[in-house]
Structures are given as structure tokens and as C-alpha cells.
A and B are shown apart, each in its own frame.
Chain A
Amino acid sequence: MDEQAGGWTGKLLRIDLTTKEIKVESSLSLVNHYPGGRGLGQWVIFNEIPVTADPLEKENVMVFSCGPLTGTMAPASCRLSIDAKNPVTGGMASSNMGGHFAPELKFAGFDAVIVTGQAPAPVYLYINNGKACLKHAENLWGLGTRETENRIKQELMDKYTRIISIGPAGENLVKSACIIGDESRAAGRGALGAVMGSKNLKALAVRGTQGFSIFNPGEFLHEVNQYREKLNRNEVIKTLRTLGTPATIPGANQMCRLPVRNFQDDHWPEDKINSVHPEEFKNNYRVRKLSCFNCPVFCSAFYRIKNGEFAGLACEGFEANLVWNFQSRIDINHPPAALKFHEMCIDLGLDIDNSSGVIAWALELFEKGIITKKDTGGLTLKWGDYTPVMELLHKIAYREGFGDILARGVKEASSLLQRESEYFAIHVKNQELVEGIRSLKGWALGTVVAPRGGGHLNGAITTEIGKLSRQDSRERFGVETAGVPTSYEGKPQVVFWFEKFKSVVDMMGLCCFITCWLHYELPGLEEITRLFNAATGKNLTAGEIMKTGQRIHNLEKAFNTLHAGFQRQDDYPPRRLMDEPIKSGPFKGEMLEQNHWDKMLDEYYNLHGWDPETGLQTRSGLEGLGMESVLEKLKNNRSLVEK
């Protein structure tokens, strides 16, 4: 067997939407460098997108990629990474989704799809067993994502086709537009739905019956079995199997992680949190548990509302962030409304985090009298009143009236509106912040320095939530405080580790929920390394794989420097979180203090080999990672610190 082909299909698709040219290329030189997923995607966009490119013009490049473990029997081998230039931040975007699309792409014979250019009229891409073609999508333009999937399946006469698509929000280039797959999964952040919309690309549909093989099936199966046994023994996995990620909601409130009323507080009163308790959803609305492809955690579920205002609603969903953001953030505690928000976001193709962020900003402005019914087109906005919020969501997706302002995202909208509304625009690197971060200092650091802007899926550390013991903390990270929420001490070291490890997980095509990213007792780097080696025939050490993770993070950092000009000042939390303490709950009084943050950033940059004064990358840091071509680009852009 060709050693290099194990785990990979060895091929990628390259589509130029402008010329309609479709090419099949070898993926092997790419995957040998960055094995897949986020790594492969970031390497392609770093090299192929000009610094001057407008994210919503034809120069932007989208990469849809699998990892070497995607589609294998490795647990939760379902992730599709989507990478492009980010219309919200101006820097890099990378978002990955579960479901069934990515494995099907591998079964169809491709490791990745690279999309360039701009179609003159709406199209969708159909991939079937080693071949691909563009199909007209004028008849799909304007449809929600659920109807889009159904129509494509009908047209192809194949209910087993796997589809990712955009809704009206993506078509209308909304800054909170996402990509939806399997009528339920989302590549949420970074307005990737708007990038697809700008390319007139309504959907990708894939069907594959070719399959692929791996280097050492016996060893691989042994590793898979060991991994599954470890998952079965873990208590966190057992909880996720029962309640899904909503199980974390009461605990998140106890840790003061909810963005209540646009971050006026990070803690919700007990009566409100109890009314959206995961058991409420389970007992009253859940029909059955569901899962992504080959996932032993099955954290998803199907819900149905039988009575009341939203009777008839039936769809798969949701994650904990729905409750953080479309409940506590706008101070609504009504489970049926939460499910309706979820269904609306799925169908309109709107990201829950970004769209709720800009809406919460508008609600606070209305509360403070900064905007009135004159601005909102007659809508009265009030905390806890979900009907006008649903109307706003619709207006955002279609850019109607006040919705056109909100469709720009909270940073741009506040710059446009002014009237001192900027202080209430809670964003990091121009993108809406997802959750309360004042209580957990390491989680905060990882979230704020994340290259894609204001998200916990890079270096945010879960050891504070899991309360890692001092001894375990010392053994794993060389510091004692990884499990101490309010301590700033040692957190940069832990974030540095999590950034590298999460890059590895995203590169492999696995879900982070089956790894020690989620909980320190779960399997991690050693297990993933053994799976990777058995699948591919490589013989890499865990350290070498972590170094590739570090390179990915540096690629993203360099992309941000070149395209968005981000420096040290962009690695600070929103002002409100440094000025106003948490008002209630177990962490009342906590906020992010400037002098501690300054110190954490110094340490964090030093660990990466970056320049503490500017936050920029250095010659020695990049040389140590063997990233000479990245170094040259930064140097030519005068963004490299020579030391």
C-alpha cells in the first residue's frame, strides 16, 4: 500500500466559480505539510488570498477540508473545517461543523474542496464519487436551509446525499451568516455563510460510495477500542449522553459565565436558570437523542413542541450556547422560545452567537434611550420580550430596515450609529463575544487572544471549570493554578498548551468533545497520535504533532497581522469587562483587571516567541518552527520583529 495514502484519499477538488473550471489535484503534498482540517485550510488561505482581498469579493478563497481521521472508526470522526478570510474581523476565519458531510466527502474520494472566484449566477456544487459539477441554483436562492436540503435531495433523487448550505442571511451578506449542514449543524462564526453568498454558492452536496483505507487496520482498531473504553468510563461523557451540552448550563451559571443582558451581569437568578434547566427541555420537548457521524457521545437531540404558540416546531438541536445567548443574553427564560430561535437561526442561516450579540446590544441601547422606536422602525425592544427579537432576527437576515444596521455586526453597527453606543458593543477583534469571561481568567485569556475573535474554541482552558487539582496541574502544565478560576497566575502556560492541542484536534477531523480539551480525564494527545500513525503509516511523536498545532496557530496569527493589522491592543477584553465587576452570584465582584491582563499577555507572547511590546511574531520564533515562508511574508509587510 502507498504509505502516504493511508487515512487520506490523496485527492482534492479545486473549483473556480468564475471560469467554472473544476480540477482534481493531488492532496499529498499539502497533507504531508499540514495533515488536514484547520491546518490544511489555513495553509491554503494564507498562501492564496491576497492581503488586499475583500472577504466578500471573488479574491476570497474557501477551503472545506477533512482530517486524516475523518470518516474513520476513530470516535466522533465527523468534523469538516471551513476556512476563509473573515468578513467580520478582516482576519482569518476557521469554523468546523459535525454532522455527516465531511465523512461523505472522504467516501466520495476527496480530502478537501478549494473554492475560488465568484459565480455569475447562483449555483450549487455537486460531488459524486471522484467527480464534481456545478448545478443551477436560481430556484433555491431565497430558500431556508432546510427547504434547500430537501429540494436538492429531490432533484438528485437521493435521500442519502449530504448537504451544507446557506440561508437568506448568507445570500444577503449578513455578518452573522453561517453555513448549515444536515439541517442542524453549523459552521457558525466568521460569517462564512456570507462568504458563500458573495460567491453565489448556495450549497455543496456530496455522495460517496468509494470509501478509503488506512495503513494498519489491526493496530487502528485496537486503538479505537481502547479509546472507546476510556470514553465509556468517563462521567462527563455520561452526562453529555443524557442531556447534551445543555447539561452545562446550571454549572455555567454557578461559574458566572452567562452574558446576562448584554454582559450587565454574568449570573442569572436561580428561578430563571431553573426554568431553562436541561431537564425541562428533556422532559417536555425532547423526542430522542441524535448524534453526528460515528459519535459515541450523541450529545444532540430531536425536539418537538406539541402545544402553545410554537406548536408544530420539530427539528434537531441545540447546544448550550443557545441558552446562554438567546435566553440569558436577552433575559428570556422560555424554553419554547429558545427552540424557536434555534429553528429560525438554522433556517435563516444565522449564527446564534453573533446574531444574539448584536441584538442584545440593540436591546440595551433601547433600555438606555440611546435608540428609540424611530430607529427600530416602530419596534419596542425590551429585555425578556421575545416577539420583537424574533422580528429583528428576520429583519437581520433580510436586511430590512433596522435589521440592515444590525446585519453589519456589533462593531460596524456601533461605529455607524455612534451616540456612545460603542461601549455597549461587546466584541473582540470586531466579532461578538460569546459568553461571560470575567470569572475565569484562563478561559478569558484563551477566548480573547483567539485568532478568529472572541471565541473559546482555540485556547480557552477547561481546567478551571473542571477544577483540576494543584498536583495534576503541576504535572500537566508545570504550574499549580490551572484549576483555580480567579487566579491569573500560570494561565498563559495553560492557554499555550490548549491552543496547540485544539489545533491538533481540529487538524485531525475529530470533535473536541471526545478529548481532554473537554475534560482532563479524557484521552488526548498520545491517543490521537497513535490513531494518526496507525491510519497514515507515519511515525510522528506526540511532540511533533503538537508542534504542527503550534504552526497552525502561528499561521493564523500571521494571517491576522497581514490582513487585519491586529497587534497587542487587539488582545484586550471589551472595556466593560475591565470596568464593571460581576454584580451577583458566586463570583460577584470579579472583573478582568488591566494590570493582571498586561502581565498575562507579556507571558503569553513570550511563550509563543512573539514580541511582548507589539504582540507581533519574531524572526527567532518563526525560525524555531521552520516557518520561513511565513517569516518572509511578514518581513515584506514590515510586520516582523527582528529578534
Chain B
Amino acid sequence: MPRLNYHHNLCTACRSCELACAFINFQEFNPAKAKIKIYLDRSSGSISLCTEENCIYTPDCREFTCTNYCPSGALYTTKEV
């Protein structure tokens, strides 16, 4: 089973992952439905990411669609040992 990983310092808070996640799973553009969420704190420049625990189990998303649409390489998958 692959595992989702995150290079914090590469993330640009573009939210392409949110958009792609919602589109692949629900066929609509609606980041609110995404199982991944990005937040940029504009006073400090820090970015936080959270995912729903079951995000890999949706039928259309076994290969982490979000990583394919992450332009900066912040999101990536590794095989779980």
C-alpha cells in the first residue's frame, strides 16, 4: 500500500491538490469536498496540511491523484514498509 508524503518546504499553497482531489472523486470543482486541505498563515508564511484518514480508499483515487497535480513536488508517495 503506498503512503502519502509531504515535503513541507516545497509546498506553495496553490491548492491544486484540493482541486484535483474533489474533481477526481466528485466530478466537480469544489475544494471544500477534498480530502486534503492546505492552509497558509499569511503572517508567518507557514503552511499546514491535513488529510482525512481514509483519503486513499476512495474508488477513483487509489494512486493519490493529488500527487500527480502537485506542481512543486511537495506531495509524493512512498511504499509503506
Contacts and interface: CB of A to CB of B under 8 A. Distances in A.
A315 B13 CA distance: 15
Nearest to A149: B42
B29 A73 contact: yes
A294 B14 contact: yes
Contact of A217 (B16, B23, B32, B39): B23
A291 B47 CA distance: 12
A508 to B, nearest CB: 15
B27 A73 contact: no
B72 A289 contact: yes
Interface in B31-81: 31-33, 39-40, 42-45, 47, 69, 71-72
Interface in A68-121: 71-73, 100, 103, 106-107
A298 B29 contact: no
A294 B19 contact: yes
A298 B14 contact: yes
A213 interface: yes
A1 to B, nearest CB: 11
Contacts of A290: 12-13, 40, 45
B13 to A, nearest CB: 6
Given A73-B23, A304-B45, A209 B39 contact: no
B12 A213 contact: no
A212 B28 contact: yes
A183 B29 CA distance: 24
**Interface size band for B:** 20 to 34
Interface string B1-39: 000000001111111100110110011111111000001
Nearest to A303: B45
Nearest to A304: B45
A542 B76 CA distance: 37
Contacts of B31: 107, 211
B30 A294 contact: no
Contacts of B11: 288
A300 B47 CA distance: 14
A103 B19 CA distance: 10
A297 B13 CA distance: 12
Contacts of B39: 159-160
B42 A213 contact: no
A314 interface: yes
Nearest to A184: B42
B15 A100 contact: yes
A314 B45 CA distance: 8
Interface of B: 9-16, 19-20, 22-23, 26-33, 39-40, 42-45, 47, 69, 71-72
24 contacts: A73-B16, A73-B20, A100-B15, A149-B42, A160-B39, A183-B42, A209-B30, A209-B32, A209-B33, A212-B28, A217-B27, A241-B72, A287-B45, A288-B11, A289-B12, A290-B45, A291-B14, A291-B72, A294-B15, A294-B16, A296-B71, A298-B14, A304-B45, A314-B43
